[in-house]
Structure 1
Amino acid sequence: MKKVVLAYGPRGFGNYTFDTETLEFSGSPDTRSGPLIIPGFIDIHTHGAFGIDFMSATVDEMRDLCCELSKVGYEGFLPTTVTAPVAQVRQALARLPDDPMILGFHLEGPFISPRYPGAQPQGDIVDPPVGVSEWDPILDDSRLKVITLAPERPGGGDLIRRLSNRNVKVSIGHTEATYTQCREAFAMGARHTTHTFNAMRPLHHREPGAVGFALTENDVFTELIYDRHHVAREAAEVLLRCKPESRVLAISDSTMAAGVPSGTHLKMWGLDCHVSEGTVRLADGTLAGSAITLLDAFRNLKEDFGWSTAVNACCINPRIALGLSTTEARTYLELDPDLNIVARYDRKK
C-alpha cells in the first residue's frame, strides 16, 4: 500500500509517497504534512530493559528482550556489558542469540577509572591489558563494535590503537582524563564519548577535561542520555549548540529497570537499586543507568529541541556511527501526533 507521509526519507525531511510493502520513498519532499514516518531506533548503549539484564540473561530472555524492544520502535541495538570478571563477560556474550536486532555488543568496562565508576562495580575495574591477555578473545571478537575505556589508564593508548585499527569504535568514558589526554586519545583513534557529562572529569575553566573535549571536537560522536535526570535540559542545549547535529547520539543506557513499575526494588550487578519517577538509583541516590528506552528519549528530545534533533540523534546518527545505511533502514515507524507508534514496517528479506 502507498500513502503520502511526512518522513525522514532519502532526500531529507518532508513529504513523500511511502510504499509500506517495499519501504521505498518517491516524490519530492517539498511540503510538510501528513502521518509521520521515521527510521527505527538504533541504541548503541543499553544494558537491558523490561526486567531483563544482559549480563545475566539466558538466550531465551535475550530473544524476549528483542521482542519487547521491537514494540517500542527499535530496529537494532548493542547489548552493553558492565565491569565484571572476564569469565562473567564471556558467559554473557556466549548467550547472545543470532538475531537481526542485535548488531554486536558494546564493552563498557572494566578498563575504566576508579575515580568515575558511576554504578559500575569498582572491585572488578582493571587496567587495559598489554600484550597477551585473558581478555583477548573478547577484544578480538568480531561482534565488538564499541568499547568504553579511560584513556589515561596504563595501557590505554595501546588498546585504543589496537581496536581502532580494526574499526572498533573507541569511546572515552568513566574517565578522569584531562583535555590534553583526550586529545591524545583522539590522535590514537578514539572517536566517541560515553554518556557525555556523566562519569567523566567535568568542565572547568582551567581544565576543560573530557566534557570540554566532547564539546569542542567536531569529529567526535557524543552519547547523550536524555531522560531529563542524567543531564539537565540546559546542559543538553549547550552540547547541541556546540556540536554538529550529526555527531550527537541519543542512547538509553537503559538497565533492566526500563519498563518496570515505579517503586520496584531490584538487585542489579550485585547492587541494591530502587526504581522511582523514571530513574533507577543506588541506595545512596546515585543514578545507576537509566529507566528509559529510546522512544522516551525521542519524545523528550522532540519536545525540548524539535524534530530534526530527535530524528538525527535517535535514528540517523547511530547509523552513521556504526557504518549502517542512512537511506535504506530495515525498519520504519509510523507515529501519531502524540508520538505513539501506530505501525511498524520491516523490510522484507
Structure 2
Amino acid sequence: MYNENRNDSMLQNFHMTVANAAISRFGLSAYNLVVIWVVLHITGSPALAGLADSMMTFPLMLSIVVGSVVDRIWLKKEIAIGAAMIRVALLVLILYAIYTGKGIYVVVSIFAATFLLGFTSDVIDSVRASWMKVFLSEDQYKSGSSEMSSATMLAQGAGFVISGIIIALGDIRSFLVLALIFLAALLPLLTIRHARYGGSGSVQEYIMNGIRLAMGDGRIREVIIIGLMGNFILGMAGIMFISLVQVGFRLPAIYVSMIFGMLVFGIAVGSLLGQRISGNIGRISIAVYAIIGASFFSISFVKNGFLAVPPSFIAGLAMGIENVAINTSLMRIIPVEMMARIQGAFNTFGIAATAVSSIAGGFLYESAGSTYSFMTVGICMMSVAVMIRFMRNFSSMAY
C-alpha cells in the first residue's frame, strides 16, 4: 500500500511537505490580511471585511468529502499540484478585477477567489495530513508535529509581518507578489517521490467510515468539540484585532502585522517547546485555554497598539503547545488510511462551523466597542478551560 521503510528519502519527503506547508501558510496569511484591508478600505465595514475573511472557511463544510476522496485516490501528488496551480490562477482573476478600476468588481472577485482558495487549501491540507503519517515513523510523531507546527507558524508570522509591506506596494503589486508566493509553494510538491497508495471502495463508504470513527471515538469527538469552541472564539478575536488597530487606534497596517506577527511567533515558539512537554492532555489544555483567555481579557484595558503585543505573544505561546500536544496524540490513534478523512472531519465539524466567527467578531466590535468585546472573548475562552474538566475521554489522554 505504501512504503513501510522510513528511509532517508521518506524523511526528505516529509521535509518537502513541511516546506510546501510553510510557503503556503506564508502566502495565505499575507493574503488574508491584504484581503481584509482592501475590503475594509473599499467598503468601510468591519463586518464585510470579516465576511471576506470567512469565505475561505466555507468550503471546509465539505472537507470530509474532500478527505474521503484524497484517502481513496491514488494520485495524491497530482491532485495537490493541480490545486496549487489553481491558486495562482485565482490571484490572476483578482488582478484583472483591479485592472478594471471598479471597486465592486474587486470585492466580488476577492469573495469568489477566497472561497475557491479555501477549497484548494483543503485539498492540499488533506494530502499533507495523509503524507505526515506515511513519511514518519511512530517515534517521530512528536518531533515531526513540532517541526510542522513551528515551521508553518513562523511562516504565518512572517506572512502577517510582510503583509503590511505588501499592502504598501499598492493593490496590483500586492496581489502579484501573492501570486508569486503561491507559485513558489508548488516547487516542493514537484520533488516528492513515493509509492502510490489509495483505496478502492466508494467515496460514500469512505465518508461514512470517517464519520463513524470521528463520532464513535470519544477522544476524537471531544477534540472536535473543543476545537469548534476555541476556533470560533479565535476567529472573532482576529477581526477584532484588525478593527482595534484600524478603527479604534486609527493606525496603519504595519501595526496589524506587528500584533499578528507576535501572536504567530508565540505559536512557533510554543510549538518548539511542545515537544519537551509530557503529561495529561486535559491538564495541559485547561492551563492553555485559561492563559489564552486571560491574555485576551487583558487587551480590553490596552490603550495603544504596542501594549497589545505582549499578551498576543503569550496567547500564541500557549496555542503552540496545545497544537503539538493534540496533533501528536491524534497521530497515534488514527490509522494512516483514515488520516485525510479525519482531517476533513475536524474541518467539517470544527473549523467550518466557525465560518461565521469573523462576522460575529465584527458585529461584536461594532456593537460593544473594544473594551467589552475583548472582555467577552476572554471570558468565553476561560469558560472552555472549565468545560474541558468535564470531558472525560479527552482529559484521560496522555501526551
Calculate the TM-score normalised by the size of structure 2: 0.23
User: Which structure carries more relative contact order (alpha carbon 8 Å, separation 6+)?
Assistant: 2
Calculate the TM-score normalised by the size of structure 1: 0.25
